[in-house]
Structure 1
């Protein structure tokens, strides 16, 4: 039986995706593995291959080893969406580089099916890569070797990567809990604690939309994080250049980015 050592008030779903590519707006999931860490210390593992409904590029297949023939008889994401939503109900979300890729990709797939099926509000996001790069800047394979003293077999297999990430976060918490760093003001603080609120804050403090087309500046204001208005307050841009909102909605941006921008615009009108 797989177990964990995290102190939890709600389950945390560690997950990893294999996909047709890295374009969140266009690419699709071909495999998902979830290791749900429960409050009682047990772990439930679910791994499922998915028919993406599009050809898998050879360069992607060469990385994760999944080809068109392997998924041609598997269900589409929309056929699995409800059961996946139920399995993830009430869970915080965790992974390796998950804030920049896996969570945005998963949210995008759910939004294509039904924008009410998978709500990310009131969930915390734990990114093992964020912790790792702060404390020991390397890759998942090196992280697994460094923290767990094991070699990662079958790297780029969704289940192997998922279970390795769970072990890494447990080891990170054990290694760094109580370790002090200094902030830009020279003040000491303890960034790593066995607490999901603390790890969420560390992993996702500037998160606005999952694709990070928007972020928070030093004052806590939402600003654009790309293009000609990079660093400019979103509200100021929408007031001065209202057509910019229409341009984003009508171009190749993730649905989550468009939804978040719309929420900001609606809030401005109140």
Structure 2
């Protein structure tokens, strides 16, 4: 049971892109829970389309079903802040991947509206994605036990580990009904990232840098505004050079 000491707001945002500093919100949904004798009770909710004052990219429409026409005529984020403040100003926050995306996006939108994100100075942000990584560790030993129901004997012995890795892969494919080549599985695991080191990510028609001091900028922004850093990256990081060529060539 979840025991609340103060209100907790579950948050999810849909937006025009994956960079929380550049994206604009197109939908916001909140559920506000307050302390109760049985743990928590729903106090208020909000689900609104938001006009980002720009076109909704086609890949975002494919993902969310929200088109540019859908959001036209709806309030801008700026216009919604007066409704959001009472829900957020005394509450902790929760949301899946909220620490990496929804929270910085929400902060950026409030800043664009000329305000600070309202909330307690000691606000807690509960992210089930991060919690899952702790509750279900992804070590080979943990995965082997989860998928096979057996303890992995002699963990960190090379022979035992190589057999366990094969067993885990077979169980993963069976559980998720996968029928694929190694290359197809590697692409599935890579997701929107272009390289195994997760340094570059596809975001619509742009490629975004996902590491270092310019994380979140597109390759074209980096090439235009930070040419020295771009040149260093291109010269020294062999694994991403072909992807840069493909994106900018």
TM-score tier after normalising by the smaller chain length = 0.5 to 0.7
Deviating above 4 A after TM superposition, structure 1's stretches of 4 or more consecutive aligned residues are none
Looking at structure 2, the residues matched to 137 and 66 of structure 1 have their Cα atoms a distance apart, in angstroms, of: 35
Gap runs ≥5 in structure 2: 139-210, 215-224, 227-249
Q: CA deviation at 1:57?
A: 0.3
2:9 touches 2:31 (CA, 8 Å); kept in 1?
Answer: yes
Q: CA deviation at 1:79?
A: 0.4
| Stretch moving more, 63-72 or 40-49 | 40-49
2:93 touches 2:123 (CA, 8 Å); kept in 1?
Answer: yes
Is 2:109 aligned against 1:109?
Answer: yes
Structure 1 length normalisation: TM-score? 0.48
Q: CA deviation at 1:117?
A: 5.6
Is 2:34 aligned against 1:35?
Answer: no
1:29 touches 1:50 (CA, 8 Å); kept in 2?
Answer: yes
Gap runs ≥5 in structure 1: 139-224, 229-246, 249-270
In structure 2, what is the equivalent of residue 6 of structure 1?
2
Count matched residues: 140
Helix, strand or coil: the match of 2:35?
coil
Change (3 A) 1:60 1:72: same
Deviation per residue, 1:74-114 (Å, 9 max, x gap):
00000001210121120001100000000000010001112
1:107 touches 1:118 (CA, 8 Å); kept in 2?
Answer: no
Q: Computing the radius of gyration over CA atoms, which structure comes out larger, 1 or 2?
A: 2
Coordinate RMSD, CA, aligned: 2.3
Deviation per residue, 1:206-258 (Å, 9 max, x gap):
xxxxxxxxxxxxxxxxxxx8249xxxxxxxxxxxxxxxxxx99xxxxxxxxxx
